[in-house]
Amino acid sequence: MNWNFNQLQEHFFVYLEQTDQSDLFYPLNQALPPLTKSIKETLETLHVQLKSTAFATSTPLYIGLMGAFGGRSAALNALISKAQAGDSVAFQAAHALLVEPNYGETIQESINALQEAYQRQIMPEAFQALLRQSTVMAWGAFETFADNLLKWTIDADVNILQQLVAAGTEIWGEKADRWHKKMQEQQQATPNLSVGETYALVRARLGRPVNLQSAQTLYKTMLAGNAQVDASLTSKDMQMLEARRHLFVHRQGIADDKYIQKTGEKCQNGAAIEVLPEELRRYFRAITQAGINLAQAVEQII
C-alpha cells in the first residue's frame, strides 16, 4: 500500500510552516503577554534558530518530493509562478504545491520513491544523520537562548549576580570561586563595563556555565522556584535531548552505561542510538515551551 503524506511524516521529518495550531512552533507565533524588548528579541531569536533547524532537516525531503520522476518540472514551474505572484516564502509555496490537486499524481510518485528508499533501507545513515544533526542544533539553540537570557537578566538587575554566584557553588564547586574572583578582577580592571558585559568576558575565560543541570539550578534560584519553568526544564524530552546531544557530539552516537543510566533508554552498551522523526518534533516542542516559560518568568521579576 502506498503512503500518503501523513504516513511519510511518520518516517521522515518534514516541517511545513503554518499559521495555525498545526505549526510545530505555534506557541511562539501566538500573541504572548507583553515582554521587554530584549526578552522578546531573545525569544524571537530562539524561534528563528528552531525554524532554521527544522527547515534544514526538511530540505532534502522537499528536494526529493519536488524532484522525483515527472514532478520535477511541474514543481519548479509552480514555485516560480508563486514567486512571481508575490509569494516570497518558498516553503509555503512548497506546501501549497504538495496539496495542489493538479500535481497530486507526480507528488505521489515522489512519495512512493521516498517510501521505497525507506523500506529498502537505501542510505538510512544519511537520513539518520539529518535527525542527529538537528538534535544537536536544537539543543544549541536552547543553550544559546538560556545563556543570553541569563546574561541579560544579570545586566538588568545586579543583585541577581550574588544569588547566582551562591547557586554556582552548588554546581561548579571550586570553579564558582574562580568565576567570582574573575568577575571581581574584571570589574576592577574595566569599571565602565556593565555587569552583563563583565559576565560575558568572564564566561569566555572560564567556559559556558549553562547546561541543563546548571540552567535548572540557576533559573530556579533566580525565579524562586517557578513551577512552570521547573517542569519544562526537567521534562523527560529536555533531559533526553541534552543526553543525546552529548552522545552525538562526544561519542558518535554510541550508547555507554552512563547514557543508559541517565536516560533509562532500553538499549545495549555499544548500541548506535537513532532519532525518530516524532522524537525530534517532541524536542522542538519541549524547547519552545521552555523558552516561553523562561521568558515570561524573567519578565515578572525584572
**pTM greater than 0.75:** yes
Where do the DSSP E strands lie in 117-268?
none
Residue 226: all three cell numbers together = 517557578
Identity of the residue numbered 115: Q
Q: Compute the distance between CA of residue 263 and CA of residue 242 in angstroms, rounded to an integer.
A: 10
Residue, of 235 and 217, whose pLDDT is higher: 235
Phi, psi of 249 (to 5 degrees): -80, -40
pLDDT value at 207 more than 50? no
Residue 91: all three cell numbers together = 516553503
| Per-position b or e across 137-158, b if 16+ CB within 10 A of its CB | bbbebbbbbbbbbbbbbbbbee
Residues 13 and 57: beta-carbon distance below 8 Å:
yes
Name residues whose C-beta falls within 8 Å of residue 122's C-beta, 6 or more positions apart in sequence. 116
Residue, of 18 and 254, whose pLDDT is higher: 254
Which whole-number Å values give the CA distances from 290 to 22, 274, 283, 293, in the listed order? 19, 24, 10, 5
pLDDT value at 266 more than 80? yes
Proportion of the chain in helix, strand, coil states, percent, rounded to 5: 75, 0, 25
**DSSP secondary structure, 74-119, as one string:** HHHHHHHHHHHTT---HHHHHHHHHT-GGGHHHHHHHHHHHHHHHH
Phi, psi of 273 (to 5 degrees): -85, 130
pLDDT value at 15 more than 60? yes
Q: Compute the distance between CA of residue 104 and CA of residue 111 in angstroms, rounded to an integer.
A: 10
Q: What is the pLDDT of residues 139-194, one digit of tens each?
A: 999 999 998 898 888 777 767 766 666 665 555 556 666 666 777 787 788 777 77
Q: What percent of the chain is predicted at pLDDT more than 70?
A: 73
The candidate with the shortest Cα–Cα distance to 224, out of 150, 297, 299, is 297
Name the residue ranges covered by the structural domains of the chain: 5-301
Q: Compute the distance between CA of residue 286 and CA of residue 267 in angstroms, rounded to an integer.
A: 23
> Residue 271, SS3?
coil
The candidate with the shortest Cα–Cα distance to 258, out of 248, 247, 249, is 247
Residue 22: all three cell numbers together = 498545526
